[in-house]
Amino acid sequence: MDVSAQIEAVYDTLRRRNPGEAEFHQAAHEVLHAIGPVLTAHPEYADARIVERLCEPERQLMFRVPWVDDQGTVQVNRGFRVEFNSALGPYKGGLRFHPSVNLGIVKFLGFEQIFKNALTGLSIGGGKGGADFDPKGRSEAEVMRFCQSFMTELYRHLGEHTDVPAGDIGVGGREIGYLFGQYKRITNRFEAGVLTGKPVGWGGSPARTEATGYGTVFFAQEMLATRGQDFDGRRVVVSGSGNVAVYAIEKVHALGGLVVACSDSSGYLVDENGLDLALLKEIKEVRRERLSAYAEAKPSARFSDRGSVFDVPCEIALPCATQNELHQQDAGALVKNGVLAVAEGANMPCTPEAVEVFRGARVLFGPGKAANAGGVATSALEMQQNASRDRWTFERTEDQLAGIMRQVHAQCRASAEIYGGDADDYVLGANTAGFRHVADAMMAQGVI
């Protein structure tokens, strides 16, 4: 059987064994259909069934999370943790609290995390978790009770050498604090390295909050530099207005770019003068309001609940909201308006059809497993600090982050040249480089 037939057989089996998990199928399809040249060059991977083993999580956890709301009513949610691959280190990946969370979503995120974590060059495996709980509109007491119930089940599967969760959508410093407090209460150990994304005052890393957004911009900056360009004076559109988006905007402004639009689930905001970051943070991080509140406060801004933020003309686009938010027609609009580069700040925000539009138009395209690796990279730096009982400065951590993103970028280009000949093919480069790291470790450790 030739390599392409082997890959198709693996993918067909994956779809049959994981029915109804469209996002997981999509993530696996991208990886499997990129690594053909690697399998051709290394037939020993096929002999050891590396691909088949990679596609099957080492462990999948699904559990009930009962809690009591402020009215005294018992609520029941579902919790998940998929420990996908530990060949390179303890499972590492965030927890997502959002009504859309299901096993397929968590598996897609965990599968992506394997290769993203491998690209950082740090000793971390891939995993992901979460719950179909929505913290929006819940009181502090309700969020605390939910987190405590969630951790009461999950704690037995965690440990700084086993599985180290962090935050994701719906899980910020507040939720990490409640989760850590319950872990400490149950285990009677202040095991700082068991969760990352902690506040700086008790074991967190400076720059962790900013890391994913900053890292995406650093990666985009490296892509632009290959064509003698940078952010200075460029129009930029960022989708989302959560943690990743806010700090991507902050770093773009620091590099001289002008972010003119962002979005949330209610619509998108345009401010031709450049987004007022202080006002945006006030509305989103303090008042927790919709973007329409920004337009009400700023005469220069307009808010729209129709169309797409990607309709706004720009030279650089940073999709930083959620999976499959940027569709083929959005990609077409961006290309028509002259976009130079797209870097994914979220996990798989571009549909496969949109990615093909960008690649066909020779737009610089940084896939999420490379472009948004800054968050997990800084989580691993937080683990280093926890292990040594040390605390770095913000500047030292940011310098380390920038260095890691440069190294991720260089790996992608080098691997793309080896396996395809086109250094600008970051999709091929990210998938093949990440796969090689994990496959070699799995080969060395035997059939486990």
> pLDDT (tens digit, 9 = 90+) per residue, 173-210?
999 999 999 999 999 999 999 999 999 999 999 999 99
Give the mean model confidence (pLDDT) for residues 406-417.
Answer: 98
Whether the pLDDT of residue 270 is over 80: the answer is yes
In the annotated binding site for NAD(+), the residues are: 212, 243
Checking if the pLDDT of 300 tops 80, the result is: yes
- pLDDT at site 288: 86
Element (H, E) at 245: helix 243-254
What the chain holds in terms of domains, given with CATH numbers, is 3-55 (no CATH), 59-187 (3.40.50.10860), 210-370 (3.40.50.720)
For the segment 391-399, the average pLDDT, to the nearest whole number, is 96
- Dist CA 260 CA 318 (whole Å): 12
- Tell me what pLDDT residue 21 has: 97
| Residue 128 annotated among the catalytic residues of the structure | yes
Which neighbouring-strand residues pair with 91? 125, 163
- The average pLDDT across 317-338 equals 97
How far is residue 158's CA from residue 165's CA, in Å, rounded to a whole number?
8
Q: How confident is the model at residue 412 (pLDDT cuts 50, 70, 90)?
A: very high
- In this predicted structure, the answer to whether residue 262 has a pLDDT above a threshold of 90 is yes
Residue the block writes with tokens 């998990």: 21
Catalytic residue among 128, 198, 251, 369: 128
With CA atoms as reference, report the closest residue to 428 among 439, 417, 438, 437.
Answer: 417
CA 415 – CA 150 distance, rounded (Å): 40
For residue 159, the 8-state DSSP code is B
Contact 82, 128 (CB under 8 A): yes
**In one letter, which amino acid is 30?**
E
Q: Are strands 258-264 and 163-167 parallel, antiparallel or unpaired?
A: unpaired
pLDDT above 70 for 332: yes
- 3-state SS string over 374-421? HHHHHHHHHHHHHHCCCCCCHHHHHHHHHHHHHHHHHHHHHHHHHHCC
Please indicate whether residue 140 or residue 288 has the higher confidence score (pLDDT). Answer: 140
Closest CA to 85 of 445, 440, 438: 438
Confidence band (pLDDT; 50, 70, 90) for 1?
low
Average pLDDT over residues 382-398: 95
Q: Which pLDDT tens digit goes with each residue over 16-58?
A: 999 999 999 999 999 999 999 999 999 999 999 999 999 999 9
Query: Does residue 334 contact residue 355 with C-beta atoms inside 8 Å?
Result: no
Q: What is the pLDDT of residue 421?
A: 85
Predicted confidence at residue 78, as pLDDT, reads 98
pLDDT score for 186: 98
Question: Helix (H, G, I), strand (E, B), or coil: what is residue 356?
Answer: helix
For residue 241, the model assigns a pLDDT of 96
Binding-site sequence positions: 92, 113, 116, 167, 212, 243, 379
Q: What is the mean pLDDT of the chain?
A: 97
Residues of each annotated binding site for substrate: 92, 113, 116, 167, 379
Encoded tokens for 92: 């590492």
Q: Which residues contact 427 (CB under 8 A, 6 or more apart)?
A: 30, 34, 355, 359, 365, 367
